């Protein structure tokens, strides 16, 4: 019996506004499915406990600019005066081996990925409601009243963008349900790409 062609892995992009619970969803998803998490490059310094090559690839501005110039990044953007990007070579290697890869990136980067790799599956995690998100952000305690309102304004723009450009929108009102929905999305996407 001969083997059929080996299938490529899925490239999954997960985005969502600050405070939506994206990190928690992604962590639980990692326990439910066999998936590799892309390690981004950044010019910001490591935080206590972060490890180079595990949490991020920590590089200086010159090296990052060189990566951009050489086309070594699948996507990149600047946030808070620092650069962040996804090295393309490890992503392609994993996909070619049939391994699914998840990118946890913002809307801008997601659209860069979709332009470079139209087969990428984009998932945007929505809050159950604006009030629920406001409560989650306020509970974190790292945002003043004015900052909270500014963040919520950005969130409205992110959601409007996601509704127009993302493949899938998933509401995070129950952790188990949202993870189960993403698992179903991955199964559907895999069938569609075969």
pLDDT, residue 146, reads 76
Q: Terminus-to-terminus CA distance in the chain, angstroms? A: 20
Grouping H, G, I as helix, E, B as strand and the rest as coil, residue 121 is: strand
> H helices of the chain, where?
22-32, 61-69, 88-96, 107-116, 130-140, 145-165, 175-193
Grouping H, G, I as helix, E, B as strand and the rest as coil, residue 174 is: coil
101-133 tens-digit pLDDT? 999 999 999 999 999 999 999 999 999 988 888
Report how far residue 137's alpha carbon sits from residue 74's, in angstroms, rounded to the nearest whole number.
30
The whole-model pTM stands at 0.88
pLDDT, residue 34, reads 95
Nearest to 13 by CA among 189, 194, 193, 192: 189
In sequence order, what are the residues at sequence separation of 6 or more whose Cβ sits closer than 8 angstroms to the Cβ of residue 92?
A: none
Grouping H, G, I as helix, E, B as strand and the rest as coil, residue 106 is: coil
Taking 70 as the pLDDT cut, the residues of the chain under it are 1-6, 141-144
Report how far residue 194's alpha carbon sits from residue 187's, in angstroms, rounded to the nearest whole number.
11
């Amino acid at each position: 019996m001969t083997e059929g062609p080996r299938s490529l892995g899925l490239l999954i992009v997960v985005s969502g506004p600050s405070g939506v619970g994206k990190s928690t969803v992604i962590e639980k998803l990692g326990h439910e499915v066999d998936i590799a998490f892309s390690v981004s490059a950044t010019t910001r310094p490591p935080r206590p406990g972060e490890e180079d090559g595990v949490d991020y690839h920590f590089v200086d501005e010159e090296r990052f600019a060189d990566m951009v110039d050489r086309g070594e990044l699948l996507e990149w953007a600047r946030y808070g005066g620092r650069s962040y990007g996804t090295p393309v070579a490890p992503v392609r290697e994993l996909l070619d081996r049939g391994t699914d890869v998840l990118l946890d990136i913002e809307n801008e980067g997601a659209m860069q990925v979709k332009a470079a790799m139209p087969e990428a599956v984009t998932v945007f995690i929505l809050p159950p409601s604006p009030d629920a998100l406001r409560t989650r952000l306020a509970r974190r305690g790292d945002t003043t009243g004015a900052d909270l309102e500014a963040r919520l304004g950005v969130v409205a723009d992110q959601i409007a963008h996601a509704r127009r450009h993302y493949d899938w929108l998933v509401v995070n009102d129950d952790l188990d349900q949202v993870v189960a929905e993403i698992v179903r999305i991955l199964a559907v996407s895999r069938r569609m790409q075969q």
